[in-house]
Amino acid sequence: MVNVVTAYGWLLHWLVRAVGLTPYMVEIEPGTVIKFWGPCDAVSSGKCLSSKPVVVLLHGFCGDGIINWQCQVAALTRDYAVYVPDLLFFGGSVTDKAERSPEFQAECLAAGLGKLGVEKCVLVGFSYGGFVALKMAEMYVEMVEGAVVSGAVVAITENVVLRAVEGIGYSSCSEMLLPVSVGELKTLLSVACYRNLSLPNRFYADFLQAMYSNRKERAELLEALVISYKEIKIPKFHQRIHLLWGEDDKIFKLEFAQKMKEKLGNNATYEGIKSAGHLVHLERPWVYNKSLKQFLSSVFPLPGDKN
């Protein structure tokens, strides 16, 4: 019997090809490969062929890049060169290195984008992808011209982890984000969504099978994400950072976004989206896409824009 989530993934791949994207397997170094979806004419002889501004979409911890950003890709490809990578140990991206930190993810992404000829970009990061986006913005100031972040904070500590999972029945991020049964996946999605989903158990079982490979490595990614409180240093971002949040996010609640804006200072802006939870870009895609496009047009003014 065909896995319905795998079949849906094939359909999504056909659709993103229809709007001009194609997969690239980019070797960062021997043993480390990142899969990118990018423009069909993305690169020739190490130079980016597209004249459009580059937007890079970084996915969260459940699923791969295309599954996470299925509601955004087609909305952006007319005006932007869109790249959708699978982060290491998701989708088609792997490494034989022992490193699991967000810094390593950022290094590999920057190297992969460089090999695809990308010199400058805006990052859009959701949840785990938001952590990586913020780290990449900190590390690669010349490449990253701005970032839109949803459901992620600038630095995560054990205290933040405990606050994020308290009250929703979990003892750790791994327990929450790596479900092993249909019941656990249902509970996770009920926490992540503003409205309860009503889907057959077959869907949840197939999602677990299709999207939860590399469990050991993903648990290590989560462990590497948590740093000790005394090691925290809030970076001074030179780029604009836009916090685009679901106002009913139960995991990283609204107060996290508001406090983060205060810590980041004048270069940070905040916008809340009503009737949306942690999965804000999937629950309210029309509203999210409109806000995202407004930010992108302020960084990359398009022909005909008044600003």
Task: Tell me what pLDDT residue 160 has.
Answer: 67
In a domain, 305, yes or no: no
Cβ-based neighbours of 10, under 8 Å, separated by 6 or more: none
Task: Tell me what pLDDT residue 96 has.
Answer: 97
| Other Cβ atoms within 10 Å of 264 Cβ, number | 20
Phi and psi for 196 in degrees, rounded to 5? -70, 135
Contact 307, 295 (CB under 8 A): no
In a domain, 213, yes or no: yes
In a domain, 304, yes or no: no
In a domain, 307, yes or no: no
Q: What is the CATH number of the domain that holds 181?
A: 3.40.50.1820
> Is pLDDT larger for residue 302 or for residue 299?
299
Does residue 128 surpass a pLDDT of 90? yes
Q: In this predicted model, what pLDDT tens digit does every residue of 245-284 receive, in sequence order? A: 999 998 888 888 888 888 888 889 999 999 999 999 999 9
Closest by CA to 224, choosing from 35, 88, 28, 123, is 88
Does residue 110 surpass a pLDDT of 90? yes
Rounded Cα distance, 236 and 239, in Å:
9
pLDDT-based confidence at 226, cuts 50/70/90?
Answer: confident
Rounded Cα distance, 245 and 100, in Å:
26
E strand spans, 9-72? 21-29, 32-39, 43-44, 47-48, 54-58
Task: Tell me what pLDDT residue 305 has.
Answer: 61
Coil/strand/helix, residue 2: coil
Contact 209, 181 (CB under 8 A): no
Rounded Cα distance, 226 and 34, in Å:
23
Instruction: Look up residue 221 and give its two tokens.
Output: 């990614």
Q: Which long-range contacts (CB under 8 A, 24 or more apart) does 165-173 make?
A: 165/251, 168/250, 168/251, 173/222, 173/225, 173/226
Highest mean pLDDT of the ranges 30-39, 172-181, 251-260: 30-39
Coil/strand/helix, residue 248: coil
pLDDT-based confidence at 156, cuts 50/70/90?
Answer: low
Rounded Cα distance, 265 and 268, in Å:
6
Q: Kind and range of the H or E element at 261?
A: helix 254-264
Contact 124, 133 (CB under 8 A): yes
Q: In this predicted model, what pLDDT tens digit does every residue of 59-105 receive, in sequence order? A: 999 889 999 999 999 999 999 999 999 999 999 999 999 999 999 99
In a domain, 147, yes or no: yes
Rounded Cα distance, 120 and 133, in Å:
14
pLDDT-based confidence at 48, cuts 50/70/90?
Answer: low
In a domain, 53, yes or no: yes
Coil/strand/helix, residue 284: coil
Taking residues 283-295, what's their average pLDDT? Answer: 97
Q: How far is CA 296 from CA 117, 209, 301, in A?
A: 20, 36, 8
pLDDT-based confidence at 166, cuts 50/70/90?
Answer: low
Does residue 162 surpass a pLDDT of 60? yes
Domain count across the chain: 1
Cβ-based neighbours of 204, under 8 Å, separated by 6 or more: 182, 185, 186
Coil/strand/helix, residue 196: coil
Amino acid residing at 132? V
Taking residues 39-55, what's their average pLDDT? Answer: 72
| Residue 65 CA neighbour count, 13 Å, CB half | 26
Contact 114, 49 (CB under 8 A): no
Contact 150, 281 (CB under 8 A): yes
Task: Tell me what pLDDT residue 159 has.
Answer: 66
pLDDT-based confidence at 20, cuts 50/70/90?
Answer: very high
In a domain, 306, yes or no: no
Which residue range is the domain that position 198 belongs to? 4-299
Q: How far is CA 18 from CA 22, 79, 81, 282, in A?
A: 9, 16, 14, 21
pLDDT mean across residues, the chain: 89
